Amino acid sequence: MEKKHNITVDVAGSEHVKYVSEINNTIQSASEERGTGIARRTDDYITSKMNEGKAVIALDGDIFAGFCYIESWSHNKFVANSGLIVAKQYRGIGLAKQIKQKAFELSRKKFPEAKIFGLTTGLAVMKINSELGYKPVTFSELTDDQAFWKGCQSCVNYDILMRTQRSKCLCTAMLYNPKWEEKPNSQQKTEGKIISFKKWLKRKNSKEDDNFSLKSKLKRVMSVNAISSLFRNNNETYAETITVRNKQ
C-alpha cells in the first residue's frame, strides 16, 4: 500500500463497490472536459473488476480519488490497463502515476507472461507508460479479441476506429512485453564463458597442486632428469613408478 498526501492506493475489493457510480461519473465528466475518448463501462462491469481483484482504487480517507482496472484478453496473452481516472481535486500531485504503477504491478503478478497494453490520448499517461517500460506500437500488435474492441463503442471517437478498419484512432497504442527484460543471448553466453573459465582455472590449480605433491614424493626415489621425463606421462605412470621403487 502506497501513501501520498494522505491518499492510499491499493487493490480494490468488494468493499469498494459503493464507489462504482462515482467512478463512472468521473470517467464521463473527464471525457466531456477533454473532448477525447475515455470509454465508459457499465456499473456491473466495474463491480466485477473489483470483486475479481482486478482493479486499483485511490482513496483520501473515504473520499474517492482515482481508479484503474485490468482485464486479460486473447486467452491471457494480453492484459490491458484501462479506465485510468483521477478525480479533479486530486490532479497534479502525481496520483495518476501511483495508480498506474500499482495497476502495472497487479498485472505482472496475475499475468506474469502476458503483454500489457493500453490506449490513451493523454500525454501524461504516455509519459508514465514509457517510464514503466511501454513502447508505442501499431494497433496490429495489440490483441485481436473482438470483445476488447467492442468496449470502445462508448468512446466518442469510435467512428474513426471503424472507418480505418481498426488500424488507427486518436488514441496512441502502447505495449509492454515481459520478454524485453530477458538477458540477450550474447550476454548469457559471455557469462557462461566466464563461469566455465573460473571452473577450468580452479581445476587447473588443483591439478598443479597435485602435481607439486607428486614431484615431492618422486624426489625421494628418482633423479631430477627421470622425474622430468616421467612428468610428461599420466598420473598412473607416476603411481606405478613409486610402487616399483618402493618394492626395490
Identify whether the C-beta of residue 55 lies closer than 8 Å to the C-beta of residue 49. yes
Q: Distance (Å, rounded) from C-alpha 13 to C-alpha 8?
A: 14
Measured CA to CA, the distance from residue 151 to residue 40 in angstroms comes to 9
Encode pLDDT of 14-45 as tens digits.
Answer: 999 999 999 999 988 887 776 555 667 889 99
Does residue 221 share a domain with residue 124? no
Range of the domain at 240: 193-247
Question: How far does CA 22 lie from the centroid of its chain?
Answer: 32
Q: Which residues pair with 127 in a beta bridge?
A: none
**Is pLDDT above 50 for 108?**
yes
Q: Are residues 64 and 97 in the same domain?
A: yes
Of 39-53, 55-69, 83-97, 118-132, the range with the highest mean pLDDT is: 55-69
Please state the domain count of the chain: 2
Q: What is the pLDDT of residues 71-100, one digit of tens each?
A: 999 999 999 988 899 999 999 999 999 999
* Beta-carbon contacts of residue 6 (< 8 Å; ≥ 6 apart): 60, 61
Residue-level pLDDT at 29:
85
Q: Are residues 122 and 201 in the same domain?
A: no
Tens of pLDDT, residue by residue over 154-202, are 777 888 888 988 888 888 999 999 998 876 554 544 444 444 545 555 6
Residue 65 to residue 7: CA distance in whole angstroms? 8
Domain boundary among 155, 181, 207: 181
The angle formed by the CA atoms of residues 174, 101 and 113, to the nearest 5 degrees, is 60
Q: Which residues are within 8 A (CB) of 153 and not within 5 positions of it... i.e. 6 or more apart?
A: 39
Indicate whether 174 and 197 sit together in one domain: no
Query: What is the Cα–Cα distance from 234 to 58, expressed in whole angstroms?
Result: 74
pTM over 0.75: no
**207 in the same domain as 89:** no
Helical residues (DSSP H) of the chain, grouped into ranges = 20-34, 43-51, 95-110, 123-132, 146-150, 158-163, 185-218, 224-230, 235-247
Q: Is the dihedral of CA 73, 151, 156, 105 positive or negative?
A: negative
pLDDT band at residue 64 under the 50/70/90 scheme = very high
Q: How many CB atoms lie within 10 A of CB 139?
A: 20
Q: Are residues 199 and 91 in the same domain?
A: no
How many Cβ atoms sit within 10 Å of the Cβ of residue 150?
A: 10
Q: Is residue 223 domain-shared with residue 122, that is, in the same domain?
A: no
Give the residue, 228 or 63, on which the prediction is more confident: 63
- Cell numbers that stand for 235 in this block: 598420473
- Same domain for 139 and 207, yes or no, is no
